[in-house]
Amino acid sequence: MTLIYDINKQQAVVNKNTDDTTETVLSIRHLYKSFKENHVLVDFNLDVSKGETVVVLGKSGSGKSVLIKCIIGLLQPDKGDIELFGKSITGINETELDKIRAKTGFLFQSNALYDSMTVRQNLEFPLRRHWIKVSQQQVNDMVMESLEDVGLAHTVNMMPAELSGGMRKRIALARTLILKPEIILYDEPTTGLDPITGKEIIGLMMEIQQKYNTTSIIISHDMNCVRTAGNRIVILVDGMCYACGNFEQLLKNTDPKVKQFFEGI
Amino acid sequence: MNESLAITRFLNEAGETSHFIARFFRQWFKPRFELSEFTRQCFVIGYKSLPLVGLTAFIMGLVLTMQLRPSMIDYGVESQLPAIVGIAIVREIGPVITALIFAGKIGSSIGAELGSMKVTEQIDAMEVSGTNPFKYLVVTRVLAATLMLPVLVLLGDAISLYGSYLGVNIRGNTSFVFFWKQVLDNLSFSDVLPAFIKSFFFGFAVGIIGCYKGYNSSKGTEGVGRSANSAVVISSVLVFILDLIAVQVTDLLNLY
Ligand SMILES: Nc1ncnc2c1ncn2[C@@H]1O[C@H](COP(=O)(O)OP(=O)(O)OP(=O)(O)O)[C@@H](O)[C@H]1O
Ligand SMILES: [Mg+2]
């Protein structure tokens, strides 16, 4: 397998990338979102700079998915502002939003592969729909390149239903990567996978991060993922950015609400 | 208490459906029409229901003729059989039976398809891929259903009349040409046109209800099943209600 490689070496490279750049890609200011009486996000703030990998930790139902759906404009926040690539995405028109979305990758928690389409059609979909002018030959090349990145070139003519859970996750990742996004939002990329496949997926994400110097926001419960992939960890409690720091800093934190995430490590 | 709750729920649902219909018209006229998806849907929707529509239409024509024959003989107007059956099929039975079959076949499949796309976040995935899912999924399907049902009704009518021709010939002996001449002589434009127009409305009802139910499917596989089921039930009932309205309108306009 080409995917297994030295994670520690990768970590050093990732850290170096973030030190020499300060350009802010994403900035979230005073974000509020509630569903009826359920106040999910309450005054959430976050800044992410270029090339950085931020991991968001939080209990199930704490609003992690809601947070990244707000970032990509799938949910409208009640209050507050989100700036992506220096443009506010709240109250922006559809065309402008699509332009920003073309530069943003989103890996869904449930993969969201189109099950009426083959793997090839799944991957072609974002290419064609963003109305990017490319020839059929280029489309084919991009599809194959993306599939090779995730090591699944042989599945190109299969239907999603014929694939295993881990393969589906990788195809979803390939579809996310096909437009070479500048920022990728991952919603629980390793949940429901066995530890080995999980590690492979993390390896893949970091390989991509290094290859294209993308900015990433990763939502995860997986401590292995948190430890290896994150430059910075944000803990989401009660709808706020409760604590923030790198893995070692948070591990030493004595606040019980922070401590519970690191129990047993 | 229970009744008032049911009424509130019904009114809520009706309100939301009208909202959905309004959204359909707004999105329809927005630029960048999804032509290729629309043609694909026309093919899928029309082609998928053709065998079923053909079979039921054939049986209806045959059975109707055989059932009517004894009474026609009693009244001594056996020779009018093709005319009577022709009018019954073209005015009423053809459009309504076809629409009901269409609701069962297409309404449920649209409801289930969009419902499962909704709960597995495929609709969200389309949205982040630079696609307006409402235009891509809903507008194309509703328009395809609206256009395809009248075509199916015309085909169904023809197959039904062929069934009727066979029915006439089980006991009698009528030539094919004579049968058609008798049917067409007794049909006027005012029989065909209202029936044709109402089938557009039937098609629209099936398409929009299927999409509404699927698009607003609640989470979980149970929700998908429920959307498919209620899409069929509601659109079938709507077909009858629209039929009732159509007959009143044609009556008022003195079209018959
Ligand atoms: N579309 C919605 N309508 C109503 N409530 C919602 C909706 N989406 C999310 N919620 C609510 O928001 C809260 C946060 O949900 P969210 O999906 O963000 O959790 P999460 O942190 O991603 O959990 P998990 O780790 O299980 O995925 C939950 O209480 C959920 O009930
Ligand atoms: Mg989630």
Angle in degrees, 0-180, between the axes of helices B2-28 and B189-215, rounded to the nearest 10: 100
Instruction: List the end-to-end C-alpha distance of chain A, in Å, as a whole number.
Output: 28
Residue pLDDT, tens place only, A150-208: 888 999 999 999 998 889 998 999 999 888 899 999 998 888 778 888 888 888 888 88
Residue B134 reports pLDDT greater than 70: yes
Choose which residue among A64, A186, A218 to substitute to test ligand 1 binding: the one with the highest number of ligand atoms within 8 A of its C-beta.
A64
Residue pLDDT, tens place only, B212-254: 999 998 877 788 999 999 999 999 999 999 999 999 998 888 7
Contact: B132, A94; criterion CB under 8 Å: yes
Mean pLDDT of chain A: 84
Classify residue A258: in a domain, yes or no. Answer: yes
Q: Is A239 in the pocket of ligand 1 (CB under 6 A)?
A: no
Classify residue A70: in a domain, yes or no. Answer: yes
Give the residue numbers spanning the domain of A245.
1-103+227-265
Please report, for residues A7, A30, A99, the alpha-carbon distance to residue A82 in angstroms, rounded to integers and kept in the order given: 32, 9, 16
Contact predicate A153/A147, CB 8 Å: yes
Contact predicate A218/A229, CB 8 Å: yes
Work out the pLDDT band at A90, boundaries 50, 70, 90. Answer: confident
Best-predicted range by mean pLDDT (A58-67, A204-213, B194-203): B194-203
Mean pLDDT of chain B: 91
Classify residue B162: in a domain, yes or no. Answer: yes
Contact predicate A261/A57, CB 8 Å: yes
Work out the pLDDT band at A264, boundaries 50, 70, 90. Answer: low
Residue of B nearest to A72 (CA): B128
pTM score, whole prediction: 0.86
Q: Is A60 in the pocket of ligand 1 (CB under 6 A)?
A: yes
Total number of domains in chain B: 1
Average pLDDT over every residue of A59-80: 91
Contact predicate A53/A229, CB 8 Å: yes
CATH number at residue A242: 3.40.50.300
Which residues neighbour A155 within 8 Å (Cβ) at sequence distance 6 or greater? A119, A147, A163, A167, A171
Residue pLDDT, tens place only, B57-89: 999 999 999 999 999 999 988 888 899 999 999
Please report, for residues A34, B136, B201, B234, the alpha-carbon distance to residue B111 in angstroms, rounded to integers and kept in the order given: 29, 15, 18, 12
**Higher local confidence (pLDDT), B48 or B146:** B146
Q: Is A74 in the pocket of ligand 1 (CB under 6 A)?
A: no
pLDDT at A179: 86
Burial-class residue A222 by CB neighbours within 10 Å (0-12, 13-18, 19+). Answer: buried
Classify residue A25: in a domain, yes or no. Answer: yes
Classify residue A191: in a domain, yes or no. Answer: no
Classify residue A207: in a domain, yes or no. Answer: no
Residue A18 reports pLDDT greater than 70: no
* β-pair type (A232-237, A240-245): antiparallel
- Which of A203, A243, A207, A250 shows the shortest CA–CA distance to A224? A203
Q: Which two tokens stand for residue B144?
A: 């395809």
In B, which residues are within 8 Å of A111 by CB distance? 120
Residue A13 reports pLDDT greater than 50: no
Helix (H, G, I), strand (E, B) or coil at A101: helix
Which residues neighbour B40 within 8 Å (Cβ) at sequence distance 6 or greater? none
Residue B112 reports pLDDT greater than 80: yes
- Give the environment of ion ligand 2: residues with CB less than 5 A: A 65, 109
Work out the pLDDT band at B92, boundaries 50, 70, 90. Answer: very high
Classify residue A248: in a domain, yes or no. Answer: yes
Helix (H, G, I), strand (E, B) or coil at B106: helix
- Which of B33, B16, B4 shows the shortest CA–CA distance to B234? B16
Classify residue B17: in a domain, yes or no. Answer: no
Classify residue B10: in a domain, yes or no. Answer: no
Please report, for residues A169, B44, B52, B213, the alpha-carbon distance to residue A228 in angstroms, rounded to integers and kept in the order given: 19, 48, 58, 44
Of A111, A115, A126, the CB nearest to B130: A126
Site from B118, B129, B132, B141 to mutate, A interface, most A CB atoms within 10 angstroms? B129
Q: Which two tokens stand for residue A52?
A: 């950085």
**Residue with the nearest Cα to atom 18 of ligand 1?**
A63
Total number of domains in chain A: 1
Give the residue numbers spanning the domain of B153.
35-255
Residue for token pair 């199916």: B152
Strands of the sheet with A53-57, listed across from one edge = A104-107, A183-187, A215-219, A53-57, A232-237, A240-245
CA of A88 to the centre of ligand 1 (A): 24
Q: Is A73 in the pocket of ligand 1 (CB under 6 A)?
A: no
Residue pLDDT, tens place only, B160-217: 999 999 998 888 788 889 899 988 888 888 889 999 999 999 999 999 999 999 999 8
Kindly state the helix (H) or strand (E) to which residue A28 belongs, with its residue range.
strand A24-35
Classify residue B109: in a domain, yes or no. Answer: yes
